[in-house]
Amino acid sequence: MNITSLLPSDKLAPAGRWTGFQPFNFVGGHNDASFVPSQAFQASVSRALETDGHRLAAYNLGDGPLGHLGLRQFIAGMLHRRAGMSCSEDDVLIVSGSLQALDLVNQTMLRPGDTVLIEASTYAGVMSRLDRMGVHYHGVPLDDDGMDITALASLLEELASQNIRPRYLYTIPSVQNPTGSVMPQERRKQILKLAQRYNVPLFEDDCYSDLVWEGDRPATFYGLADGKGVIYCGSFSKSLAPALRVGYLVAPWEVLSHILPYKTDAGSGALEQMVLADFCPEHYEDHVTALTQHLAQKCDIICAALDRYFGASADYKRPKGGIFVWVTLPSHVDSVKLAKLAGADGISINPGPDWSIAPEAPHQFRLCFGYPDAAIIEEGVMRLANICQQEFGVPLAIDNI
């Protein structure tokens, strides 16, 4: 029997086989391998298993479907301290990375044919999910401070005039992916007002907010709105390690109770939750402070390499935190083609159209710098500039390549 011939015709495209990372890997939200706190994790694993190992006998360790109680208490406290949010452990659902939060919110709130608003440049995983669900999306143009308020207001008005109410407005306000901007508090308040006026919930994805190195971290939408009309998600992927697959979704119980039934996996991995519950109270603050400083240095390294090898032809804003830089090249450069040529030379980059529906996307690309070390960053950017020069004549001069 040929199983593949029996699959439904609307199935997803088949996966390619894993062939490993490219030597110059500038894609994916990976972290810096030297900053995984392996020793402290090791101690936490031992302690967690010694005291709580027997609790693995019960689904969700017997703490119920929201996940590990101690970890939820830590998250609620941390969000209060760091992000001005008042929520209790009963408003926190532990999920398998914030990707699961996206899936759960989408399953709860969206149906084919619905409309949502997103930032015109945004996380590729969001657009692919919406495409898959048959949901329409409109992109709100971005400036250096995040969503352009005038553009958002006219988009909301235009949709309202067509009797369309977006199901949510998805935003990554702190370390916007891919632009790296941090939306100032005043802008957040204006957006909140607009969202309230048009009765559109906000879906706030805050997975990079612990990695802000420039300026103060503004209060979250969730905090500013006191949880009303906002669903929030965060993650330990960027602040600790993405392979842990531990994130969190925060919403008042009246909303969370509608989302929870869609989490049908009988709980996220409990050992990871036990380890984090042990690790975080003692180490989280110091860890993210050190990691953020380190990432800021790596950001300087990649910006210097861009300046050195692309010169004035690479237009970018130094990100205010996080792990990526969003680069705009002259308009005749095709970033999809550039990514393909670079791939053949062992360099992976994210071409603009995967991350943006803005008109400039075809000549933009994203470079992640969390994972590669300084030498790889330097050589990778140099090689990329060389390829770009040969194919598109950009940068003009290659004296120093």
Ligand X SMILES: Cc1ncc(COP(=O)(O)O)c(C=O)c1O
Residue 286 beta carbon to ligand X: minimum distance, rounded to whole angstroms: 22
Radius of gyration of the chain (CA): 22
Candidates 41-49, 57-65, 91-99, 156-164: pick the segment binding ligand X (CB under 6 A).
91-99
97 binds ligand X (CB under 6 A): yes
Which of 220, 235, 364, 389 is in the footprint of ligand X by CB under 6 A? 235
Residue 309 beta carbon to ligand X: minimum distance, rounded to whole angstroms: 26
Residue 206 beta carbon to ligand X: minimum distance, rounded to whole angstroms: 9
Core vs surface per residue 319-329: b (16+ CB within 10 A) or e: bbbbbbbbbbb
Among 85, 129, 130, smallest CA distance to 251 is for 85
Which of 106, 171, 174, 237 is in the footprint of ligand X by CB under 6 A? 237
83 binds ligand X (CB under 6 A): no
Number of residue whose CB is nearest ligand X? 97
Residue 168 beta carbon to ligand X: minimum distance, rounded to whole angstroms: 14
146 binds ligand X (CB under 6 A): no
67 binds ligand X (CB under 6 A): no
Question: Would you state the structure tokens that stand for residue 310, as one six-digit string?
Answer: 């692309």
Contact residues for 77 (Cβ-Cβ < 8 A; gap 6+): none
Residue 242 beta carbon to ligand X: minimum distance, rounded to whole angstroms: 5
Which of 63, 91, 103, 205 is in the footprint of ligand X by CB under 6 A? 205
Contact residues for 32 (Cβ-Cβ < 8 A; gap 6+): 291, 294, 295, 298, 370, 371
Which of 172, 230, 275, 329 is in the footprint of ligand X by CB under 6 A? 172
Residue 123 beta carbon to ligand X: minimum distance, rounded to whole angstroms: 4
Residue 326 beta carbon to ligand X: minimum distance, rounded to whole angstroms: 12
Which of 146, 218, 247, 372 is in the footprint of ligand X by CB under 6 A? 247
For CA atoms 175, 180, 186, 189, give the dihedral sign: negative
Among 129, 90, 123, 128, smallest CA distance to 109 is for 129
123 binds ligand X (CB under 6 A): yes
268 versus 389: smaller Cβ distance to ligand X: 268
Contact residues for 183 (Cβ-Cβ < 8 A; gap 6+): 145, 146, 147, 171, 173, 174, 176, 191, 218
Q: What secondary structure does DSSP assign to 145-205, as a single string?
A: TEE-HHHHHHHHHHHHHTT---S-EEE--BS-TTT--B--HHHHHHHHHHHHHTT--EEEE
Name the burial class of residue 350, with classes exposed (0-12), middle (13-18) and buried (19+) by CB atoms within 10 angstroms of its CB: buried
321 binds ligand X (CB under 6 A): no
Which of 66, 182, 207, 295 is in the footprint of ligand X by CB under 6 A? 207
Candidates 141-149, 153-161, 235-243, 345-353: pick the segment binding ligand X (CB under 6 A).
235-243
227 binds ligand X (CB under 6 A): no
> CA 31, CA 73: separation in Å to the nearest integer?
25
Give the residues lining the site for ligand X (CB under 6 A). 29, 97-99, 123, 125, 172, 177, 205, 207, 235, 237, 242, 247
